[in-house]
Homo-oligomer: A and B are copies of this chain.
């Protein structure tokens, strides 16, 4: 018995993309970020207190492709790229759907998620410019873990402001960042002026991503050899993550897979953007009819409930104003296990794609996504991250719609990470103490 050819499609090491794809080149008009003081379009120098030059250049870049340096491609090997594209045959059987379901593996990185793809690029460019420390924020901990790990590859220090709620709930996330050598502070912290202010006004707060971003930016702005690194939202982050979608397109070509749906979870938008943007570029050119679905948490439903308007990326109002779907800079999402989806805004590029009707979005509750994750674990053998459970839930829903309509469609979704460090959520689901976040 030969193994079915499309059960898994792999690429050799040389299949790691040589260029990043930039959707900015194809999407048409984009509203620029605004300087928070003047409310005029932000200039490159507005970003200089917190970002290194090459990152600022990429943030404003309009070229379709940006070269990936050899050192970054080699680093991507350490993240186990290229990652497999796999067919979920057993999930299809479980759903009794005529649809074919494929998924792109981002769970096989030693970090357990896709976050390393941009962390690596950011650490490299900062190290090249002589920056000795990167600061960042982390919610669930996946982003902080990624930056902590890749900082080692380029001999750079890493300081992580971790949302206090997560810091207390997920001590092992702190441990893994420490294992990789990073400093980890619970945010709000006494290490920044903004942190001190929040602690004074709300001593009992469990923090938020917005507050942690403010702290990390403040620390970066104070020291010329320290820069800030962001794990989602901005254009350069989306750019770096397109290795996911480019590999997937190459694998779909090899497997003769013509997707009707591409689905990914969306918090700040980096997994969704990285996975879908290269194919959205094809859609803009009229080369595919594929539908793109962003699966978000109903605890932070920026795309399905938020407004498309200028808003700050953080709580303090330190960042430029971004044109995006947002729930408001002061929105604090309910506590859900999918910490990576707890953000008030959405990547301006993903937001523009939504506003132009290129993509759609669905919001899901916590209970139903863990239910989907459990089905996936028991059929495909992988325990998915709570964030990824949202993409799985959407893929399962679409597959069941195909079943109802008796249509043999092809669904490709992104498994953004594994859930080995999120087993507490599964425990709550299994012992019956978890509620749907919308109903909390």
Nearest chain-B residue to A428 (Cβ)? Answer: B175
Chain A contacts with B in 171-195, Cβ cutoff 8 A = 171-172, 175-176, 178-181
A8 in complex: contacting residue of B8, B77, B378, B421, CB < 8 Å: B77
Question: Are B14's CB and A3's CB within 8 A?
Answer: yes
Q: Does A90 have its Cβ within 8 Å of any Cβ on chain B?
A: yes
Chain A contacts with B in 3-40, Cβ cutoff 8 A = 3-4, 7-8, 10, 12-14, 16
Q: Which residues of B contact A426 (CB under 8 A)?
A: 175-176, 178-179
Bound together, the chains give a CA A91 to CA B1 distance in angstroms of: 41
Q: Does A381 have its Cβ within 8 Å of any Cβ on chain B?
A: yes
Question: Are B180's CB and A2's CB within 8 A?
Answer: no
Q: Which residues of B contact A393 (CB under 8 A)?
A: none
Question: Are A378's CB and B420's CB within 8 A?
Answer: no
A421 in complex: contacting residue of B3, B152, B153, B420, CB < 8 Å: B420
Question: Are B383's CB and A152's CB within 8 A?
Answer: no
Contact flags A106-132 to B (C-beta < 8 A → 1, else 0): 011011100000000000000000000
Q: Does A424 have its Cβ within 8 Å of any Cβ on chain B?
A: yes
Q: Which residues of B contact A374 (CB under 8 A)?
A: 179
Question: Are B378's CB and A180's CB within 8 A?
Answer: yes
Question: Are B70's CB and A2's CB within 8 A?
Answer: yes
Q: Does A78 have its Cβ within 8 Å of any Cβ on chain B?
A: yes
Question: Are B420's CB and A112's CB within 8 A?
Answer: yes
Q: Which residues of B contact A79 (CB under 8 A)?
A: 381
Chain A contacts with B in 66-107, Cβ cutoff 8 A = 69-71, 73-74, 77-80, 84, 90, 107
Question: Are A78's CB and B381's CB within 8 A?
Answer: yes
Question: Are B427's CB and A172's CB within 8 A?
Answer: yes
Question: Are A13's CB and B10's CB within 8 A?
Answer: yes
Question: Are B8's CB and A175's CB within 8 A?
Answer: no
List 3 A-B pairs, minimum CB-CB distance, nearest first.
A1-B70, A420-B420, A172-B423
Q: What are 25 A-to-B residue pairs whose CB atoms are below 8 Å?
A: A1-B73, A3-B73, A3-B74, A3-B77, A7-B13, A10-B12, A78-B380, A80-B84, A80-B108, A107-B110, A110-B381, A110-B382, A111-B381, A149-B381, A150-B381, A152-B378, A172-B427, A175-B424, A176-B426, A178-B426, A178-B430, A179-B377, A179-B383, A179-B423, A420-B421
List 8 other contacts, CB 8 Å, given A179-B378, A180-B377: A1-B69, A78-B380, A80-B84, A110-B418, A111-B381, A179-B383, A179-B430, A180-B383
